[in-house]
Structure 1
Amino acid sequence: MAPQESTAAAAPDLVIPLHYYDNNTMFTSITMHAIFVYDQVLDPEKLRSSLSQLVGHETWQKLGARVKKGSKGYELHVPRTFTSARPAIAYKHVSLDMAKADHPAASRIPSSSSAPKDRPALMGNPEDWTELCCGADAPKTISDYVGSDRPLTGLRVVSLKDATIVNLHWLHAAADGMALKAILDNWQLCLQGREAEVPLLHGFEEDPLRELGLHPKEKFDLEGSELSKWGTASYALRNGYNIAIGAKETRTVCIPGSFLKKLRETALEDLRKAGETDTFVTDNDLITAWFSRLAFSHLPSSKPCTIMQAMSIRRALEKDLLPAGRPYVSNCLSYTSVLKTKKEVDQSLGLLAKDIRRGINKHGSREQIEAYWSMGRKNEWPLGPMPIFFGQSNMHHIGYSNWEKVRANFTDLSAACTTGKEGPLYPSFVTQIQGGIAYPDGFIVTGVDPAGNTWLEGYRPGGLWAHVEKLLKADN
């Protein structure tokens, strides 16, 4: 489906209803920006044409759909043929006649080489480089797409004399983090002239998750701890200002590999002292436990705390809803929560990490996913199938999404390098920027870079980052 000018361009669009789990207020209120900074000059036309080629590929066309409001809700209108008038992707190229170090915003972007060697640190405020990377006119919510004929997927390339900033952006309703992995992997294939290796997507014209949550065989593990309608109303009253209009601050955190190794040693010792025979915890468990202790550090000891994590459920659904080996580019998530008090969070890094691991293992089973979304379906009105909040109405709630399996830090765009490049070309920095509604206390682990550093982006209510920074500098 390469762009072409012909009578086929006048054919009616293919109309697809927005999939059930894509169509909630959270996903339609957020545009995702995956930002890659390369310390090489890349050919913007090669980047544009290869991404357009991918979106024009059979079954991938949905990424070039236009959003319209139909009689039964949002619809995706997929052009039968992409043309110069109706391209596969939105595209913007900005050329700046200066080096990265000389640009007031670009010079403030961190990198693997500027990362600390032995202790975590705040590495900057993404708000300083958001306009450069995203543009002042960047789409934010679904209202910026409806009726505009804007494709769901966009590319912004900022060229400097010695660097290139690549921004791949999309409405969250089109894709989650693991869908991004499929997009990046296959974009690289197209860039390298290997389009024949691009697989067909599953769930192009039909919704494979349309019955997820309709056939529960057991109760969800935390059923009974969810916020009631009155509890939700109370939570909303307490936190509505922070969620909707309150000042938020964003920071980038770098966690060196050497520090993560020390965290693991501490956690394993905690587990041995507690008599735990199964001491398996992942790096994600350790980072979530460690950073949650920082995020809750300003609270009184009796404060109820909930740690919620998003989980891709593609693998769990392979036996029935999603065939193995076929990428599913859409939203395919469930959630796990750990309920604690601030005092319990502080007691042991290892035990907290282990509780996080138990929650992921338990809530990620096929049966628990079905049970969770059975609850979600019962509470879908009026916002759609939204995540369920567990805990108490006066809790402090934080959420995480981990993109490590996306391997965005290893996105190789060497085929677009203007000077030729032997071997792969990986970004010196990867970040994620949300347009639209920013969750008031949410964190995205963007992954591990080639030097072994883990990077985290956090959105917090105004004033809370200062407390975290103070503790990091005190090596607490």
Structure 2
Amino acid sequence: MGQPTVIPLHSQDDTWMNRGIALDFTVKFDQVLDPEHLRRSLDRLLEIGDWRKLGARLRLNASGQLEYHMPDRYDAQYPGFTYSTTTHSGYLNTSSDACAPALPRKPKIRYPTIFQPAASNLDAILHRPDSPTKLEDWIYTDRPQLNIHIATFADATLVTLTWLHTLMDASGRASLLKAWSAIVCGREHTVPPFHGFSDDPLADVTAKPPLEWFIRLPWLLIAIQWLFPVLTWIRALCELVRYPAYETRLVCVPGAMVTGMREQAMQELAAGDTSAAAAAANPPFVSESDIIVAWWSHCILRCGRPSCDQPITILNNFNIRAVFPGRFPPSAAYIGNAWLMAYTNLRCGQVLGQPVSHLALKIRKSLLDQRSKEQIYDYAYVQREGIRSAKGGFLSSMGLADSVIHCSNWHQARFFDVDFSAAVVGSGGDDDSRRDPAFGRPSLIIPTVHCRWPSMMNLGSVIGKDAGGDWWLMWQLKKGVWREMETQLAGMR
């Protein structure tokens, strides 16, 4: 097969944080998909131009840096991805089969609903026993970066992707799924070119020290980045001692409720703008995503009952690709990591003493202010010096553990729009089922995170909006907080 192509990982991929996180991403379809159709389509994607990089093997070089080793082609002896299937004769959506109760079954909901458990009780269904969960599972084996497991039932299909965070972020995952689905549905001509095969689009972003005052981080935290992670870890360990039990659950919020909250927020913000001229020129705006993050933060804080003076930090991951269109052409796909975090710093009294619209606008303003090129240059440098070398540890984990709410918002990735309809068994023709917007598209998404360090509390993701217009969240909270959350949400009925 010849000598492999060797490419160092890009600057935002080979970080201490990314090395320590592996992800499972399970997508449930309420139809039976043809696993072989999906496999052939992904095989074909890795044959198109630089998309072959997805099949590279991770290796640790003599300098302790990660690099990709890839051949010029893949075959049965050297596949571009790990692939396995299991077939279950029972029904997933309607039976009392042992595996069926473990999955959320969403009726037409009118109120926010918590589903438990998430993926923790589904391991035997979602992937093989040897599925990778840590860096060593890749660098000390001949395992490709992507691990795919497909479980088929008489009425449904579960597709699970597993990878190390060094491979891609949420936007990269969206680009991969969109390209894969294009081939599944016979639209290979729409597959975008693969961007950043060997050239790092962000190589110089972290190259220079910051030149301006940070909006997010006071200079004192930067100056003591050796001391700060120690304090953070002490606080986190204290939390684990005080509250050793935590759970990850899925939450479904009715779309009509989110729409109503946003309409009310827009009215409140317009009424609160004292300058009519300013409002006409630049009216206040919050999105449904802003609203759901603000509302959920309110819910978490009400369960925690912190004092009014306690500092609150809300972290909101954002994609920086759009900020640098010259580095990331919109017509190309960048499979990698290109994200930072926007910080919203308030006191608890400022949050709970105001309506949800107030916090939603603060979150929106933080995002707009902190995703400027200048701010990205500044913070990317500090993040690299901290997270990549572990000197600064989790610079993202500001304040006490109870005061940090960390959100990764995936709504823009549109994961519920993934179209595998052409892989549905017996999907020929143009019948009524194919015109259903949910046909061949995900009905449920279950993310699972494998961390090699104690996980922080109040951490989660806004997964997105499903075909029925309802919103899904995945969050990690203390068991006691979940009990209080259930009581709180029950009061909304």
TM-score by length of 2: 0.88
Q: Which residue of 1 aligns with 2:449?
A: 434
Equivalent residues of 1:23, 1:384 under 8 A apart: no
Equivalent residues of 2:170, 2:413 under 8 A apart: yes
CA gap of 1:134–1:342, structure 2 versus 1, over 3 A, is farther
Letter in 2 for 1:123: F
Q: Which residue of 1 aligns with 2:217?
A: 223
Work out whether 1:323 is the aligned partner of 2:338. no
Equivalent residues of 2:11, 2:203 under 8 A apart: yes
Q: Which residue of 2 aligns with 1:200?
A: 193
The partner residue of 2:89 within 93, 97, 104 is: 97
SS at match of 1:340: strand
- Deviation for aligned residue 1:142: 1.1
Work out whether 1:145 is the aligned partner of 2:162. no
The partner residue of 2:284 within 279, 282, 286 is: 279
The partner residue of 2:170 within 154, 177, 181 is: 177
Question: Residues of 1 paired with 2:258 and 2:462: CA distance?
Answer: 14
Equivalent residues of 1:139, 1:435 under 8 A apart: no
SS at match of 1:149: coil
Question: Residues of 2 paired with 1:383 and 1:49: CA distance?
Answer: 41
Q: Which residue of 1 aligns with 2:57?
A: 66
CA gap of 1:439–1:49, structure 2 versus 1, over 3 A, is farther
CA gap of 1:385–1:38, structure 2 versus 1, over 3 A, is farther
CA gap of 1:23–1:63, structure 2 versus 1, over 3 A, is same
Q: Which residue of 2 aligns with 1:49?
A: 40
Tell me whether 389-398 or 439-448 shows the greater mean CA deviation: 389-398
Equivalent residues of 1:256, 1:453 under 8 A apart: yes
TM-score by length of 1: 0.91
SS at match of 1:311: strand
Question: Residues of 1 paired with 2:122 and 2:139: CA distance?
Answer: 27
Work out whether 1:158 is the aligned partner of 2:151. yes
Question: Residues of 1 paired with 2:54 and 2:288: CA distance?
Answer: 32
Question: Residues of 2 paired with 1:461 and 1:214: CA distance?
Answer: 39
Equivalent residues of 2:401, 2:457 under 8 A apart: no
Question: Residues of 2 paired with 1:45 and 1:340: CA distance?
Answer: 52
CA gap of 1:364–1:97, structure 2 versus 1, over 3 A, is same
Question: Residues of 2 paired with 1:381 and 1:171: CA distance?
Answer: 16
Q: Which residue of 1 aligns with 2:23?
A: 32
SS at match of 1:182: helix
Q: Which residue of 1 aligns with 2:414?
A: 407
Work out whether 1:359 is the aligned partner of 2:352. no
CA gap of 1:19–1:202, structure 2 versus 1, over 3 A, is same
Q: Which residue of 2 aligns with 1:346?
A: 352
Letter in 1 for 2:229: T
- Deviation for aligned residue 1:266: 3.5
- Deviation for aligned residue 1:17: 1.1
CA gap of 1:439–1:114, structure 2 versus 1, over 3 A, is farther
Equivalent residues of 2:314, 2:343 under 8 A apart: yes
Q: Which residue of 1 aligns with 2:386?
A: 379
Question: Residues of 2 paired with 1:353 and 1:400: CA distance?
Answer: 13
Equivalent residues of 2:17, 2:387 under 8 A apart: no
Equivalent residues of 1:25, 1:384 under 8 A apart: no
Equivalent residues of 2:387, 2:395 under 8 A apart: no
The partner residue of 1:23 within 3, 14, 22 is: 14
Letter in 2 for 1:264: R
Matches within 5 A, 1:195-344: 195-215=188-208, 216-224=210-218, 227=221, 228-229=224-225, 230-240=227-237, 246-275=244-273, 277=279, 278-297=283-302, 298-301=304-307, 302-319=309-326, 321-344=327-350
Work out whether 1:453 is the aligned partner of 2:450. no
- Deviation for aligned residue 1:396: 1.7
Q: Deviations over 1:281-324 (max 9, x none)?
A: 011111111101111221322322110011000010113x2233
Matches within 5 A, 1:79-90: 79-90=71-82
Equivalent residues of 1:225, 1:391 under 8 A apart: no
- Stretches of structure 1 lacking an aligned partner (at least 5 in a row): 1-8
Question: Residues of 1 paired with 2:318 and 2:347: CA distance?
Answer: 23
Question: Residues of 2 paired with 1:131 and 1:466: CA distance?
Answer: 27
Report runs of 4+ in structure 1 exceeding 4 Å deviation. Answer: 241-246, 384-387
Q: Which residue of 2 aligns with 1:5?
A: none
- Deviation for aligned residue 1:209: 0.9
Question: Residues of 1 paired with 2:67 and 2:175: CA distance?
Answer: 23
Question: Residues of 2 paired with 1:209 and 1:448: CA distance?
Answer: 31
Letter in 1 for 2:299: L
- Deviation for aligned residue 1:464: 2.2
Letter in 1 for 2:91: A
- Deviation for aligned residue 1:184: 1.0
Q: Deviations over 1:203-257 (max 9, x none)?
A: 1112121111334553321231774433332221010365799443111000101
CA gap of 1:390–1:41, structure 2 versus 1, over 3 A, is closer
Tell me whether 177-186 or 374-383 shows the greater mean CA deviation: 374-383
Q: Which residue of 2 aligns with 1:416?
A: 423
Q: Which residue of 2 aligns with 1:388?
A: 395
- Deviation for aligned residue 1:137: 2.9
Question: Residues of 2 paired with 1:247 and 1:12: CA distance?
Answer: 49
CA gap of 1:57–1:383, structure 2 versus 1, over 3 A, is farther
Letter in 1 for 2:37: K
SS at match of 1:447: strand
Matches within 5 A, 1:90-129: 90-100=82-92, 101-111=95-105, 113-116=106-109, 118-126=110-118, 127-129=120-122
Identity %: 28
Letter in 2 for 1:295: I
- Stretches of structure 2 lacking an aligned partner (at least 5 in a row): none
Equivalent residues of 1:226, 1:388 under 8 A apart: no
Tell me whether 344-353 or 376-385 shows the greater mean CA deviation: 376-385
| Total equivalences in the alignment | 464
- Deviation for aligned residue 1:377: 3.2
Letter in 2 for 1:236: W
Letter in 1 for 2:294: A
SS at match of 2:313: strand
SS at match of 2:68: strand
Q: Deviations over 1:50-70 (max 9, x none)?
A: 112212322112211111111
- Deviation for aligned residue 1:368: 1.2
CA gap of 1:351–1:162, structure 2 versus 1, over 3 A, is same
CA gap of 1:393–1:471, structure 2 versus 1, over 3 A, is closer
Q: Deviations over 1:438-465 (max 9, x none)?
A: 5432111111011100100012244322
Question: Residues of 2 paired with 1:233 and 1:456: CA distance?
Answer: 31
SS at match of 2:462: strand
Question: Residues of 1 paired with 2:240 and 2:172: CA distance?
Answer: 26
Equivalent residues of 1:226, 1:390 under 8 A apart: no
